[in-house]
Amino acid sequence: MTESHHHPHTHADHHPHPPHRHPLRHRVAHLLKPHSHDTADKVDAALESSARGMRALWVSLAVLGATALAQAVVVLMSGSVALLGDTAHNAADALTAVPLGIAFVLGRRAATRRFTYGYGRAEDLAGLAIVLTIAASAAFAGWAAVERLLDPRPVQHLPAVAVAALVGFAGNEWVARYRIRVGRDIGSAALVADGLHARTDGFTSLAVLLGAGGAALGWQRADPVVGLAITVAILLVLRDAAREVFRRVLDAVDPALVDRAERALGQVPGVHAVGELRLRWIGHRLRAEVAVVVDGEATVRQAHAIAVDAEHALLHAIPRLTAALVHADPAPVPGTADPHQALAHHTAH
């Protein structure tokens, strides 16, 4: 049985080793040679994606912090409870960068004998925390809207409140687009969920704007009515974010990636068939495990060369794939025993 890993191809190296950090020049080399699959280049690509995630968090934290500060000044001037809630949302959204930032830092740590796959799963925990924060935002928005319906209050300085609401929407929407774009680029479901959370706070800002417009026309209940509608919108965003994060926690991948992997493997010379194929996310990086069928008369070296070619094809075909384990099975011969028969009682359940 032959297996291929993306380490230097000697039999002594056919077991996963904790990744090592490398200086900036290797990352630059990787950018200049994006198709290199050396171990150092793969680790540097993973570090670079984490660095992009951290950069997105710091930039969005600064933007949302400035937005919340500007809105807080208007809150003190106007006494707007709706704008106060929006300001609280923006501050809370900025703070969601904390668990995600911790996850990115942990993800850079080398694998250990206890955490043999590294700490990439910390991103999934951060994603769960973000989903809970979105749920809390929806609950807060709904409660504030109902409370305002039961106890209408006049709002002072309506033009300033409207401007602050626009600032809140613009800041949140910019941060949302930035986080979602970077999250999708590096494969971080948690960062995408955090971007969706920023978008919910942008909706809340629009509610403040529409409520201020209604109040200016003399309808004090405009703000809470719109607030209830926005609460429903937040719940819809919550559903999408929760679905993405929980799928990641359960090792779900896009079926199109599986199809792409099977097609790539089917084009590798020497691969007669593709057996069991598994893909899983660990943080914002993918790992693959696959069994391929090769000629049963092939030598160990020949089977290993086919496995290496199969791994190479996967690394080219699957974005953000940083590790692949390829197992070569001999083609079945009529009248001979199944080479895996000794394992049957271990896999029966």
- Would you say how long the chain is, in residues? 349
- Residues 206 and 187: beta-carbon distance below 8 Å: no
CA-nearest of 142, 184, 162 to 56 is 184
Q: What's the confidence (pLDDT) of residue 326? A: 92
Q: What's the confidence (pLDDT) of residue 43? A: 39
Express each pLDDT in 251-278 by its tens digit.
888 899 999 999 999 999 999 999 889 9
% of the chain beyond a pLDDT of 70: 80
More confident residue, 327 or 6: 327
The SS3 call for residue 322 is strand
Q: Is the pLDDT score of 35 beyond 70?
A: no
Q: Is the pLDDT score of 16 beyond 60?
A: no
**Cα–Cα distance measured from residue 318 to residue 315, given in angstroms and rounded to the nearest whole number:** 6
Q: Is the pLDDT score of 125 beyond 50?
A: yes
Q: Is the pLDDT score of 15 beyond 60?
A: no
**Cα–Cα distance measured from residue 199 to residue 237, given in angstroms and rounded to the nearest whole number:** 8
Express each pLDDT in 142-193 by its tens digit.
887 787 778 776 666 778 888 888 888 888 889 889 888 888 887 777 788 7
> What would the mean pLDDT of 15-41 be, rounded to a whole number?
37
Burial (CB < 10 A; 0-12, 13-18, 19+), residue 230, is buried
What's the gap between Cα 302 and its chain centre? 38
**Cα–Cα distance measured from residue 322 to residue 327, given in angstroms and rounded to the nearest whole number:** 17
Q: Is the pLDDT score of 18 beyond 50?
A: no
- Residues 94 and 68: beta-carbon distance below 8 Å: yes
Burial 23-50 (b: 16+ CB within 10 A, else e): eeebbeebeeeeeeeebbbbbbbbbbbb
Q: Is the pLDDT score of 224 beyond 80?
A: no
Q: Is the pLDDT score of 347 beyond 70?
A: no
Q: Is the pLDDT score of 249 beyond 80?
A: yes
- Residues 149 and 225: beta-carbon distance below 8 Å: yes
More confident residue, 119 or 87: 119
Q: Is the pLDDT score of 1 beyond 70?
A: no
Q: What's the confidence (pLDDT) of residue 48? A: 54
Sheet of strand 285-294: strand arrangement? 2-4, 321-330, 285-294, 273-282
- Count CB-CB contacts under 10 A for residue 151: 9
Q: Band of the pLDDT at 194, cuts 50, 70, 90?
A: confident
> What would the mean pLDDT of 232-246 be, rounded to a whole number?
82
**Cα–Cα distance measured from residue 291 to residue 296, given in angstroms and rounded to the nearest whole number:** 14
Q: Is the pLDDT score of 8 beyond 50?
A: no
Place of tokens 């069994």: 291
Q: What's the confidence (pLDDT) of residue 10? A: 34
Q: What's the confidence (pLDDT) of residue 290? A: 92
Strands 2-4 and 273-282: unpaired
Q: What's the confidence (pLDDT) of residue 155? A: 63
**Cα–Cα distance measured from residue 244 to residue 196, given in angstroms and rounded to the nearest whole number:** 11
Residues 290/294/298/299 CA torsion (nearest 10 deg) = 0
33: DSSP letter: -
Q: Band of the pLDDT at 294, cuts 50, 70, 90?
A: very high
Burial (CB < 10 A; 0-12, 13-18, 19+), residue 256, is exposed
Where is average pLDDT lowest: 56-65, 200-209, 304-313, 320-329? 200-209
- Count CB-CB contacts under 10 A for residue 271: 22
pLDDT averaged over every residue in the chain: 76
Place of tokens 């494969």: 187
- Whole-number Cα distances in Å, 86 to 41, 58, 65, 99, 272: 44, 21, 13, 21, 60
